[in-house]
Structure 1
Amino acid sequence: MAKVIAMIPARYAATRFPAKLMQQLKGKSVIRHTYDNTLATGLFDEVWVVTDSDVIYQEIVSNGGNARMSVQEHESGSDRIAEAVADMDVDIVLNVQGDTPFIKTKPLQQLLQCFQDETVQVASMMQVLHEQEQINDPNFVKVAVDRKMNSLMFSRSVIPYPRSTTAPITYYEHIGVYAFRKQALLNFTNWPMTPLEAAEKVECLRYLEYGVPLRMIVVDYMGVEIDTPEDLERAEKLL
């Protein structure tokens, strides 16, 4: 049986919305919503928060959860969890972003099922974008896929560009939930940052630039990722 764990990388000092993970949502912090909902899926042998922050560490352990402190400074969430899993006996690692409090069981289950295909090294999620304002918004990372649902490109720009006004286009937003085979994750962190990744500030582009596609699954609306104070208000309404 493959050992499957969930890791939640949690930085305190987010660029756009500092301390966002400790913001209260209906009397509970964003990071605890994420942790509790991930645990409640029952899909994982273990669930961990990996953080650079004493405040977040205490928030999790004082409420009976598992947390680890990062040893080094990290550029990305993937780097943070790679450090944590390097010495762990694990086959598949699911990376849940700390700012996704509306985690549900079914999509995570679908994501893990991708690994029944031996060729899949990394899998991730996307949801359909319906509103033009969101399609145009660079805070919404778009993804284009091939017929096998492997990622072709991620971009903050509008992809595909609607040069034809009559061709039917479905726009997908990349959801920041990933699953990796352990070795694929360790490889990622040993590769230098790539040009597209540096330009777009979208870390999964590094996989594509090293020739590793992500197997994408389409999920129903996954709720709100908390990137801005406005997102927190939207999340309050959803709850």
Structure 2
Amino acid sequence: MIDVVAVIPARLGSTRFPNKVIHPYRGKPLLAYVYNEISKSKQIDRLIVATDSEKIKEIVEDFDGEAIITSKRHRTGSDRVAEVIEKVGGKLIVNIQADNFGVKAPVLDRVISIMKKTPSIHYATFAHRLQSDHELHDPNIVKVVTAANGRALWFSRFPIPYLRDVDPKSYTAQYQFLGHVGIYFYRRSNLLQFARWKKSPLEKAESLEQLRILENGGQIIVFKTKMRTVSVDIPEDLKKMDGIYK
């Protein structure tokens, strides 16, 4: 069995930016930038785009990538990744969001190496320090709080923790808030267990798939990173890419 499989779940359905992942940027589809960076990994044995779109599959194959067609009924990216892993195998699985621009392969490799040596870690992800109160109060930037050992206590679109007697406009000057980075690491059996669980109440409330793990008693280890990724949610966000791909 292949040791490490990375999967990029990708779909065309974006209400604010239709066909986002295949939108051209400097002559290449946006998805190609994420794919090409992950392909530099020294730990990942196979890299696959999981999609329900024949158009995305064709574009991935045009830049010599691998894509697998999945069901259109998946509730989350992790559920889509699980379908692929049931087909292709793999011991450690990495799930990278298709719009995670700025992701760095060596940073992924570090966590993969740790998980290979630490079988007690079933799920893992990244977080970085938020740099502004604007980021903190943006519901599209997910916040996370952790225990001293790095275990995730909670994820929320709301600023957590709440700072009593502090002006919300100066929160980040008083506390080191963490923002979640949309990359997940799982062991095969734990990913497949995730897909078997029903969508949980708090997952539905916050629209955050990782809460399904916490609500079912699972533990997610959060690795702090200085890696700054950006997501492109609307066409105007493309200018953010200029700071990464100079």
The TM-score normalised by the length of structure 2 is: 0.92
Structure 1 vs Structure 2 CA RMSD? 1.8
Q: Deviating runs (4+, > 3 A) in structure 1?
A: 164-168
Contact 2:103/2:227 (<8 A) preserved:
no
Contact 1:7/1:48 (<8 A) preserved: yes
Query: Which residue identity lines up with residue 191 of structure 1 in the other structure?
Result: W
Q: Give the length in aligned residue pairs.
A: 239
| Residue type at the aligned position of 1:145 | T
Task: Decide whether the 8 Å contact of 2:137 with 2:158 is kept in 1.
Answer: yes
Task: Tell me, in whole angstroms, the C-alpha distance in 1 between the residues paired with 2:69 and 2:143.
Answer: 32
The structure-2 alpha-carbon separation of the partners of 1:160 and 1:7, relative to structure 1 and needing over 3 Å to count, comes to same
Aligned-residue offset at 1:100 = 1.3
**Retained in 2: the 8 A contact 1:111–1:125?**
no
Q: What is the deviation of 1:72?
A: 4.4
1:199 — aligned with what? 205
- In 2, distance between residues paired with 1:54 and 1:84? 15
Alpha-carbon contact 2:2-2:45 (below 8 Å) kept = no
- Deviation, 1:28, is 1.0
Deviation at 1:98, TM superposition (A): 0.7
Secondary structure class of the residue paired with 2:39: helix
- 2:99 aligns with 99
How far the C-alpha of 1:227 sits from its partner, in A, is: 2.2
For residues 145 and 16 of structure 2, the distance between their equivalents in structure 1, rounded to whole angstroms, comes to 26
Q: Is the 8 A contact 2:142 2:179 kept in 1?
A: yes
CA distance in 2, matches of 1:24, 1:169: 39
User: 1:134 matched to which residue of 2?
Assistant: 135
Contact between 2:2 and 2:89, CA under 8 Å: does it hold in 1? no
Residue number in structure 1 paired with 2:163: 162
Offset of residue 221 of structure 1 = 3.2
| Local SS of the residue matching 2:87 | coil
Alignment-derived partner of residue 73 in structure 2: 73
Task: Give the letter for the 2:105 counterpart.
Answer: T
2:152 aligns with 151
CA distance in 1, matches of 2:174, 2:244: 30
User: Is the deviation greater in 55-64 or in 151-160?
Assistant: 55-64
Residue 105 of structure 1 and its aligned partner are, at CA, apart by 2.1
Deviation of 1:168 (Å): 4.4
Q: 1:53-108, CA deviations, whole angstroms, 9 ceiling, x for partnerless residues? A: 11110011122111101134211110111011113231000001111132212220
2: CA distance, partners of 1:174 / 1:162: 19
Contact 2:50 2:69 in 1 (8 A): yes
Q: Is 2:220 the partner of 1:214?
A: yes
- Is the alpha carbon distance of 1:2 and 1:22 closer, same or farther for their aligned partners in structure 2, counting shifts above 3 Å? closer
| Residue matched to 2:241 | 235
Unaligned runs of 5+ in 2: none
Name the SS for the 1:65 alignment partner.
Answer: coil
Q: Counterparts of 1:84-95 in structure 2 under 5 Å? A: 84-95=84-95
Equivalent position of 2:13 in the other structure: 13
Q: What are the Cα deviations for residues 173-228 of structure 1, in whole angstroms up to 9, with x where unaligned?
A: 10110010011110011100111100000110000000112101111132312222
Q: Which moved more, 1:121-130 or 1:223-232?
A: 223-232
Using the TM superposition, give the Cα deviation of residue 164 of structure 1 relative to its aligned residue in structure 2, in angstroms. Answer: 4.7
How many angstroms apart in 1 are the aligned matches of 2:224 and 2:79?
25
For the structure 1 residues 201 and 104, does the alpha-carbon distance in structure 2 shift closer, same or farther, using more than 3 Å as the test?
same
Change (3 A) 1:27 1:123: same
